[in-house]
Amino acid sequence: MNWIDYLGPMMDGAWVTVKLTLYSTILGAIFSFMFGLGKLSRHWYFKVPSVAYIEVFRGTSLLVQMFWLFYALPLVGQLMGVDTRIPPVIAGILALSANIGAYGAEVVRGAIQAVSKKQYEAATALNFTPKQTLWRIALPQAIPEMMPVFGNLAIQNLKDTALVSLITISDLAFVSERLRNLTQESAVVYTLALFMYFGMALVLAGMLKMLSQYVGTWRRAAGGK
């Protein structure tokens, strides 16, 4: 086979990788804010589950988390008499999202805590509610500080999607391995895969840069500058 013949199936696999990255990054961002803010809560019923989630998913392997959702959870369901089987795509997205969300939650927490105490004191003096303080004082200042780290997490998430090939999802890594087994052209197949992952990372980095610029504009608008 000519190397051009590999591009069709590998592009199909790359498209699966793109969708996995998109869905898991968006859901992971939601988890980041949900549990990051939960960890800052004064209420134990928000704080305790948030701390537990962050510590468990940061302290265990992403691969093991994925295997647990796909292989172990159905067995637990059988013992309870409940069907808890998850399609491989859903298991992959959930594992990736939960993992990136745990790291992102610490980014959210740290950025919000880094806002000057004087800002919160000013909000109190202006009789702002906690919700107004969060949306008008804390987040407009904290989110731009989060963006570089979130960008790194998103790119890491793109690379981590290769692990879903181990639960039978036909992403770029899975297709590349199948082509290698069929053709024994390891150098050609993996070189193409390398450049494809690099290209996707460049595009993702560019999109995140534009998002960061938009967030900076939102911050200036929220601050009245």
Mean pLDDT over each residue of the chain, to the nearest integer: 88
Q: How high is the pLDDT of residue 225?
A: 45
Of the candidate ranges 18-27, 54-63, 103-112, 185-194, the one whose mean pLDDT is the lowest: 185-194
Q: What is the DSSP string of 118-182?
A: HHHHHHHHTT--HHHHIIIIIHHHHHHHHHHHHHHHHHHHHHHGGGGGGGT--SHHHHHHHHHHH
More confident residue, 17 or 85: 17
Cα–Cα–Cα angle for 181, 187, 190, nearest 5°? 75
Would you say 9 and 180 are in contact if contact means Cβ atoms under 8 Å apart?
no
Q: How high is the pLDDT of residue 67?
A: 93
Q: How high is the pLDDT of residue 3?
A: 61
Minimal CA–CA distance to 85: which of 98, 99, 72? 72
Give Cβ neighbours of residue 190 (< 8 Å, ≥ 6 apart).
176, 180
Q: Which domains does the chain have, with CATH numbers?
A: 3-222 (1.10.3720.10)
203-220 residues labelled b (16+ CB within 10 A) or e (exposed): ebeeebeeebeebeeebe
Would you say 9 and 183 are in contact if contact means Cβ atoms under 8 Å apart?
no
Structural tokens at position 180: 């290698």
pLDDT above 60 for 78: yes
The average pLDDT across 3-31 equals: 90
Q: How high is the pLDDT of residue 132?
A: 80
The average pLDDT across 62-87 equals: 89
Say how far residue 52 (Cα) sits from the centre of its chain.
18
160-173 residues labelled b (16+ CB within 10 A) or e (exposed): bbbbbbbbebbbbb
Of the candidate ranges 71-75, 88-92, 120-124, 214-218, the one whose mean pLDDT is the lowest: 214-218
The average pLDDT across 57-72 equals: 93
pLDDT digits (tens, 9 = 90+) for 105-163: 999 999 998 888 888 788 878 778 778 888 878 888 888 888 889 999 999 999 999 99
> What is the longest distance spanned by two Cα atoms in the chain?
72
Q: How high is the pLDDT of residue 223?
A: 53
Q: How high is the pLDDT of residue 224?
A: 46
Instruction: Return d(Cα 215, Cα 212) in angstroms, integer.
Output: 5
Q: What percentage of the chain reaches a pLDDT higher than 70?
A: 94
The average pLDDT across 20-29 equals: 95
